[in-house]
Amino acid sequence: MQINDDKPYDDINITPMLDLAYVLLVIFILMCTASVQGMKVNLPKASQSPSLAKPKTQAITIDNKGSIHLNAMPVTLQELEQKLGAIKAAMPELPVVVKADSLTQYQGVMDVLDVLGRLGVSQVGLATKPQGK
């Protein structure tokens, strides 16, 4: 007995396309959650905090001991000025987020803001936590 299967396919198997779509969706979700690099610090509270995460945003973190980190790498004020100056030369509209621990001395934050002012960085955000948390 011979089977004559000359009719064209009238169904498209979409299972491989769905597998690919799910994998791409998972990759997209994982990549979107990694927004701002930096260290974890205890942020001060504010009534409202807008979303400050932008692509190419530089994160400056000041911990409760006064140590300064640029994107989780420890730096001094002079190194911070040199590195941000080099980045600003390549990207004039440089967005920066300053995250300082709530127990940080105010002078440390002012030193960082002075460096940003000397470099002409105008897009500066101060990270805070919502008041209820």
pTM to 2 decimals? Answer: 0.57
- Decide if pLDDT at 58 tops 70: yes
Which H or E run includes 79? helix 77-90
Q: Which amino acid is at 68?
A: I
Residue 122: predicted pLDDT: 87
Q: Which residue has the higher pLDDT, 52 or 27?
A: 27
- Which stretches of 34-119 are DSSP H helices? 77-90, 106-119
Ramachandran angles phi, psi of 107, nearest 5°: -60, -35
- Split at pLDDT 50, 70, 90, the class of 57 is confident
Asked if pLDDT for residue 105 goes beyond 50, the answer is yes
Q: Given this structure, which CATH class describes domain 45-130?
A: alpha beta
Type of residue at 29: I
